[in-house]
Structure formats: structure tokens, C-alpha cells
Amino acid sequence: MIPKAKGGEDRLIDWLAARIGDGARIGDDAAVLPPGAFAVTVDHQIEGVHFPPGLDPAVVARRLLAVNLSDLAASGAVPRYAFLALAAPAGFDHRRFFTSLLAACRKFGVELAGGDLAKNPDRLSASLTLMGTKAGRRWIERRGARPGHAIWLGGTIGESAAGRRVIERGGVNDGPASVRAAAKRAMRRHLEPRPQLDLGRWLSDQKAGAGLDVSDGLARDLHRLCRASGVGAEIAIESLPLPTRFRDLCAAIAADPLSLALGGGEDYVLLFTLPEGVEPPGAWRIGTITRERKVTMIREGERSPLPDVGWDHL
């Protein structure tokens, strides 16, 4: 008989293949996929950079998938295949990580089709490549914004960045119950973002408009959308959708609400444009695309340039 002394990696891959079930593609040098036109995205999650040290591997796995799914949502794609590169320190609970990842994949209709495992002595680092097929009649791109388009946000902003600060300071343990509840919601929002796949699918069926997901902050990502489309924008600060009790929470953690909303990042909501008169489901209108290539904010009637601030990964 073939000796049983398989390495830990081979044992883990067998365990995974059994859980993925018939037709599991993992384990070969490359996974062969059926023909199709694909949207492909890749994103990192690194311990101490993208999430707090020591976070439950089950949460890390869900977060990794969610931030990638958000990119596919912003492209108008239906998620199909995932490829994982995982590098973990000694003692990392791989099975807890993969049990959570596979459950999350199943929920979103994603097949884990391949990957690579390695050691990383210092910290957990993972990158996921996701491939999706077209959800509706077209792909969504950044360059589709036209003067006169309305600018929309698919959800509230600033909450994830507030959650990151709450985690860094060890929670909000005093003050009114409503603020403590807002702090908990913010932490959950930061750790487990919810990709807007349904909204992306709806956008992919519209005739016109641009879109992206707000990962590096509204200001920076709006600048990117405008640059890609060769247009400008005007947004009304008063119309920005903020979470319940957001100002109270910011006061409790000594943060500026507007800074978090404009530049905090990791909101993972869709920022998109539509021709005037087209009403998206469950979204907030925040401004209008302009021909003049300036990005302007209007606050208490005053107009000023919206600075290109936000998260910079370098």
C-alpha cells in the first residue's frame, strides 16, 4: 500500500475536497473552469493591517470573502469561483478558517476552486481571487458616469472606520446604551461587511451609469470615478447617509464624523451614477455629475473642493 505518511497539507486538501464534494477542483496544479466571460478581482486581508491581531479565523474568512464579493458586486457580476492564497503562522486553526470560508462560499454560490498554502511566521495573510460571470445585461465600470447623472450611495458610510477605532480602543464601555449599541454595530460592520450583490445585479440591468465600491473612502473613490469618466461631481454633505447615532458614537470615540464618512474607508457600499429619473432600490442620492472636471462639496450652502483624501494602501 501507499504509505499513509502524507504531509499536513495533503491531509488538509483531502479534508477540503471531501467538504467541497463531487467535482472538487482543488488539488491539481491548476483548476480548469468551464468557458465563460469572467470578471476577476483579488484582495488581501493581512493581520494587523486589514483586521485586528488575533481575530477569530472564522471571522477573517468571512471578511476576506465579503470584501472580494463587494468588488464583484460593483462590477455587476455573479460570483462563481474563488482561489485562495493563505499564509499562516504555526498553530493557526486551518480547519476553523476553512469551515467558515466554505459555509460563506456556499451562501453566495461560490466554489473554492484552488489555492496555495504557506507558512508566514509573523502574521496571517490571505489573498483571494474571485471570478464572476455577468449578472445582468452589462458589466458596471467606473468610466460610465456622464454629466447630469445622479450620484447614489448604496448604504451608510463612516461606520466601518468608526468600528475600527472602537476596536482599537477596546470598545465603548460607558455612556448611554444607545451609543454602546451603535459601537457594537460599528464593530460588526467593520469586521463583517455585507457585499451589495443584489444592488450590483440591479445596476447591471440598467442601460447607463458608472459604479464602484467604496473601499478607500467616499472622497477618494468619487475622485477615481470622476477621473475614469472624465467628469466632475457635486455632492451635498447634508445628504450623506450616516448610520443611526453616528454623531454620538463619534463624540464618544473622539472622532470627526465627516472625516470618517469621507475618508475612513472600508464602507463596502456601492457608489454609482444613473441617468436622472432612474430610481434605484434602497439607495441615497448624494449629488450630481458635472461636465466641469472638479469634485465639489456643498456644506451649509458653501461650495469647496472635496479633497482627494482616504485610505492609501502604500
Tell me phi and psi for residue 251, to 5 degrees. -60, -40
In the complex, the smallest distance separating the C-beta of residue 70 from a second copy, rounded to whole angstroms, is: 8
Q: Compute the residue count for the chain.
A: 314
Site for a second copy contains 8 (CB under 8 A): yes
**Of the candidate residues 7, 23, 54, 277, the single one contacting a second copy (CB under 8 A):** 7
By the 8 A CB rule, do 177 and 250 touch?
A: no
Closest CA to 63 of 81, 43, 35, 40: 43
Q: Binding residues for a second copy, how many (CB under 8 A)?
A: 86
Q: Which member of 21, 23, 35, 277 binds a second copy (CB under 8 A)?
A: 35
Nearer to a second copy, 113 or 249 (CB): 113
Residue 75 backbone dihedrals phi, psi, to 5 degrees: -100, -5
Identify which of 109, 100, 7 has the alpha carbon closest to the alpha carbon of residue 45.
100
Q: Does 18 sit near a second copy (CB under 8 A)?
A: no
- Nearest 5°: the CA angle 237, 225, 281 is 65
Amino acid residing at 10: D
Coil/strand/helix, residue 166: helix
Closer CB to a second copy, 141 or 248, in the complex: 141
Q: Residue 236 and residue 298: Cα distance in Å, rounded?
A: 5
Q: Interface with a second copy by CB under 8 A: which range of 36-44, 146-154, 191-199, 248-256?
A: 36-44
For the bound state, the minimum distance from the C-beta of residue 130 to a second copy, rounded and expressed in Å, comes to: 8
Least distance (Å) from a second copy to the CB of residue 92? Answer: 9
Least spacing, CB of residue 89 vs a second copy, in Å:
11
- Does residue 123 contact residue 46 with C-beta atoms inside 8 Å? yes
Selected range binding a second copy among 45-53, 58-66, 103-111, 245-253, rule: CB under 8 A: 45-53
Residue 227 interacts with a second copy (CB under 8 A)? yes
Task: State the nearest-atom distance from the C-beta of 252 to a second copy, in Å.
Answer: 29
CA distance 68 to 129: 8
Find the binder of a second copy among 61, 66, 74, 253 (CB under 8 A): 74
Q: Find the Cα–Cα–Cα–Cα dihedral 222, 225, 229, 235, rounded to 10°.
A: -20
Residue 22 makes contact with a second copy by CB under 8 A: no
Site string for a second copy, 47-66 (x = CB under 8 A): -xxx----------------
User: Does 313 participate in binding a second copy (rule CB under 8 A)?
Assistant: yes
305 scored as a contact of a second copy (CB under 8 A): yes
Contacts of 28 (CB under 8 A, 6+ apart): 114
Shortest gap between Cβ of 179 and a second copy (angstroms)? 32
Distances (CA, A) of 144 to 118, 196, 228, 303: 40, 19, 8, 25
Considering the rule CB under 8 A, would residue 141 count as an interface residue with a second copy? yes
With binding defined as CB under 8 A, does residue 21 bind a second copy? no
Instruction: Identify residues 179-218 at the interface with a second copy (CB under 8 A).
Output: 212-213, 216
Query: Could you say which of 15, 19, 27, 108 contacts a second copy (CB under 8 A)?
Result: 27
Residue pair 228/210 in contact (Cβ under 8 Å)? The answer is yes
| Residue 307 sits in the site that holds a second copy (CB under 8 A) | yes
How far is it, in rounded angstroms, from Cα 310 to Cα 306? 11
